Structure 1
Amino acid sequence: MELRTLRYFVAVAEELHFGRAATRLHMSQPPLSRAIKQLEADIGALLFARSPTGVTLTPVGTVLLDEARALLDHADRVRVRVSAAAGVATLTVGILGDGTDPGVSRLAAAYRRRHPGIDIRIRDTDLTDPTCGLRAGLVDVALTRAPFDETTLTVRALRTDPVGVVLRADDPLARCDRLRLAELSDRRWFQFPRGTDPIWQSYWNGGRPREGPVVRAVQECLQAVLWNGTVGLSPLGHDLPADLAVVPLTGMTPSRVVAVWNEGDTNPLVRSFIEIATAAYRR
């Protein structure tokens, strides 16, 4: 299996939609579909159950997803170590969540102007590691959301966003102007896998244990709401499909957009990144 094909597969598995995965991969849908069909032929089993509204993972696809993520993480780690040994001027940035955030766009443009000769590598990560691979050495700096375990890390707050609850548009609670966490106590919430940072998990569960389907990516969260009537939290201001709605929550601590790097890291490219990020997110 080629790493490129595995990246295609992971994108479709996380988006659960070929069109959205193609957009994320910056490619057209037909070659993506052909690559997945060829991968299924090579394996000898279907990886996705297809329907007009999207796709779902088969049992074989679920097994491959875990293995593919592990292989791709290892490949990224190898690249980082080899680049460091070769002395190549690169900066690897981990991004969690919405890469279309205007703050990210302003930061990218400003960093390119300041450091035109630097090779910027982006690692788009799922929701199971809010540090985006920072502790594992996969990235130099991360754009993510707090709170999480900050041990051995340095965190710079860039912006705060109010939080709301995501519901199906036909849910009776979707007609409310505002909601309190207490009004959601009897609902199922989407969960992150075992081993996820407990501080991060607690925040997105509204501060108490919940039950519900396990998810790893933003699109999986949305699909859990759409298919199962699950609820979950999301920063306000994100575009949602027409069949979903978000209602602001009262009494909920806002979500902080932060830049994070390893404590004691003296890399001048990281320091410059933090300075530029701070300015870009103030606008």
Structure 2
Amino acid sequence: MGAVEIRQVEYFVAVAEELSFTRAAQRLSMTQPALSRAIRALEKNVGAALLVRTTHGVTLTDAGRTMLDEGTSLLARVADMTSRVRGAAERHAVLTVTGPGCDASLLDRLVRSYNDSAPPRPARAIVGTPEDQVERLRSGRADIALSRAALDDSGLDTVVLRREPCRVLLSERHRLADKDTVSRADLADEPLVNWVGTGTPLADPGLWPTGLPGRPGPEVSDGLQMLAVVRLGQACALAVPQENGAQAEGTVSIPLTDGPLVPLRLVWPRERTTPQLRTFVQRAVASLRAGQEIDADPR
């Protein structure tokens, strides 16, 4: 037996409350295999089977019911402790803003714009992946996140900074590479990169009520894989305009005329809303207001 980690307890409580690894993984914004591994590690650490897995879902063992009761109480105490510690450090703490690497330029611009106002609590930027934004917020490692994902979490507040036109990323040798624009019809027979795991916000079914353009192409799980298959001409990919206009070598980015507008949001835990965080949001909205649609979207 080994030491039990708080994160393992959080994962177990999600599975126990949902009685489904699939729904719990969606709630935690993580992959189902990773969640299964974490639960198996927890069972090994406590030396007891906590769940009975069936084709219809999961049920709790006696030990699992005890773990749920104790785990829920523990997480509540941890949240209370975190809130008190955060409150004590609030005056001198840095406001941490996170976002994916593809938005590093915009993230830097928003943070510098805020810090130029000489706030009592300066901001700093940290770059992660699109998949880990919610986890950073929940763990307290970030105060606010830049995200395009549609987050189904009643504990989060959001504001839409702008809505970005969808583009298509192609190899510079692709048959469509010389076109000024493309349509869904142009992509009808084209393979589209098939994201596995948590995927990409641009492939959110909510943006594509009639289905994604093209047909399923090679599977990818990160940005480097995606760029590789695009450069090789094995598939095209969905994209949004880059803040600095940069273009990956060997690729072209072309507007998709009948594609959706993709919302770019700031997201933060409602319970940790502070005057400094509100000020950051207000300055971010102001800096992107010109020519853009700004929507308040509280959850």
Could you state the TM-score of these two structures normalised by the residue count of structure 2? 0.56
Q: Is there any run of 5+ residues in structure 1 with no aligned partner, and where? A: 1-65, 71-80
What is the one-letter code of the residue matched to 1:222? L
Question: Is the CA contact (8 Å cut-off) linking 2:183 and 2:258 kept in structure 1?
Answer: yes
Aligned match of 1:273 = 280
Question: Is the CA contact (8 Å cut-off) linking 1:163 and 1:234 kept in structure 2?
Answer: yes
Three-state SS of the structure 2 residue aligned to 1:179 is: coil
Instruction: Tell me: CA distance 1:199–1:222, structure 2 relative to 1, closer, same or farther (3 Å).
Output: closer
Aligned match of 1:180 = 183
Q: Map 1:61-80 onto structure 2 (within 5 A).
A: none
Instruction: Report how far residue 132 of structure 1 moved.
Output: 6.8
Q: Distance in 1 between matches of 2:104 and 2:228?
A: 19
Q: Distance in 1 between matches of 2:285 and 2:86?
A: 26
Aligned match of 1:92 = 96
Aligned match of 1:9 = none
Question: Is the CA contact (8 Å cut-off) linking 1:132 and 1:142 kept in structure 2?
Answer: no
Instruction: Tell me: CA distance 1:149–1:279, structure 2 relative to 1, closer, same or farther (3 Å).
Output: same
Q: Distance in 1 between matches of 2:248 and 2:156?
A: 36
Structure whose alpha-carbon radius of gyration is higher: 2
Q: Distance in 2 between matches of 1:265 and 1:251?
A: 39
* Number of equivalences: 202
What is the one-letter code of the residue matched to 1:93? V
How much is the aligned-residue C-alpha RMSD, in angstroms?
Answer: 3.3
Q: Distance in 2 between matches of 1:235 and 1:121?
A: 24
Q: Do residues 133 (structure 1) and 136 (structure 2) align?
A: yes
Alpha-carbon displacement from aligned partner over 1:8-37 (angstroms, at most 9, x marks no partner)? xxxxxxxxxxxxxxxxxxxxxxxxxxxxxx
Q: Distance in 1 between matches of 2:174 and 2:126?
A: 35
Could you state the TM-score of these two structures normalised by the residue count of structure 1? 0.59
Aligned match of 1:232 = 237
Instruction: Tell me: CA distance 1:130–1:197, structure 2 relative to 1, closer, same or farther (3 Å).
Output: farther
Alpha-carbon displacement from aligned partner over 1:247-267 (angstroms, at most 9, x marks no partner)? 211221112222111234332
Aligned match of 1:222 = 227
Q: Map 1:31-46 onto structure 2 (within 5 A).
A: none
Alpha-carbon displacement from aligned partner over 1:212-249 (angstroms, at most 9, x marks no partner)? 222323x4432231135221111135321352111211
Aligned match of 1:40 = none
Three-state SS of the structure 1 residue aligned to 2:116 is: helix
Instruction: Tell me: CA distance 1:132–1:183, structure 2 relative to 1, closer, same or farther (3 Å).
Output: farther
Aligned match of 1:244 = 251
Q: Do residues 210 (structure 1) and 223 (structure 2) align?
A: no
Identity of aligned residues (%): 26
Q: Map 1:9-28 onto structure 2 (within 5 A).
A: none
What is the one-letter code of the residue matched to 2:236? V
Instruction: Tell me: CA distance 1:190–1:137, structure 2 relative to 1, closer, same or farther (3 Å).
Output: farther
